[in-house]
Structure 1
Amino acid sequence: MDRISALRNVEEALATFEAGECSLADLEREVRGVLRTYATDFEGELRAYRAQGDGPVDGLVVLASDATAARDRVRSLVDEPGRFEVAPVE
């Protein structure tokens, strides 16, 4: 999914919410799905990595050039990440 498609999908989800055709929870799920699809389909030098561990890092997806950079990125986003591993998103 390219950036324009992702933005259009988010815009459509917002319009559905504004029309009263979905709840806030439905909107959040839809937008989260769009963003995850965009991140995992991202083309370029970066690759999507998902953190697995305790607390706030579990499930966090970051874009990085390799696993080491992904771990560093996760640490920069979470104050106390605890123990975690990163794996490429397939």
Structure 2
Amino acid sequence: MDRIAAIRNVEDALADFERGEIDLATMEDRVQGVLRTFATEYPADDSQAYRASGAPRADGIVVLAAGRSEARERVGALLDDDLDFEVAPLE
């Protein structure tokens, strides 16, 4: 799924919600699914998705990075904190 397709799918979910065809939870699920698909299937370069685990604040954060060390740096920058966490490729 490329960026344009992702945006269209998010717009479709918003439009369905506005027309009352779906509820908020369904819209959230659809949008989250679009974002996860985009992040894991269509990186713009040689990057891939990595998920952080360990410290509660870091647990579950997903970033795109070219490697494990870059992923650790990106998660650390997002949290702006010195936490103990690991990163692993998202599959």
Q: Scaled by the length of structure 2, what TM-score is found?
A: 0.88
Distance 2:62 2:70 in 1: 13
Distance 1:35 1:65 in 2: 19
2:68 matches 1:67: yes
2:55 matches 1:54: yes
Distance 1:24 1:2 in 2: 25
| Alpha-carbon spacing, 1:7–1:61, altered in 2? closer, same or farther (3 Å) | same
| 2:32 matched residue in structure 1 | 32
Distance 1:88 1:45 in 2: 13
Question: C-alpha root-mean-square deviation of aligned residues, in Å?
Answer: 1.4
Question: Number of residue pairs matched?
Answer: 90
Matched to 1:7, the amino acid is: I
Q: Unaligned 5+ residue runs, structure 2?
A: none
Give % identity: 56
Report deviation, 1:53: 1.8
Report deviation, 1:82: 2.4
SS at match of 1:28: helix
| Alpha-carbon spacing, 1:23–1:80, altered in 2? closer, same or farther (3 Å) | farther
Answer yes or no: is the 8 Å Cα contact 1:55–1:81 preserved in 2: no
SS at match of 2:20: coil
| Alpha-carbon spacing, 1:79–1:4, altered in 2? closer, same or farther (3 Å) | same
Answer yes or no: is the 8 Å Cα contact 1:67–1:86 preserved in 2: yes
Q: Scaled by the length of structure 1, what TM-score is found?
A: 0.89
Distance 1:51 1:81 in 2: 14
SS at match of 2:32: helix
| Alpha-carbon spacing, 1:28–1:55, altered in 2? closer, same or farther (3 Å) | same
Matched to 1:59, the amino acid is: G
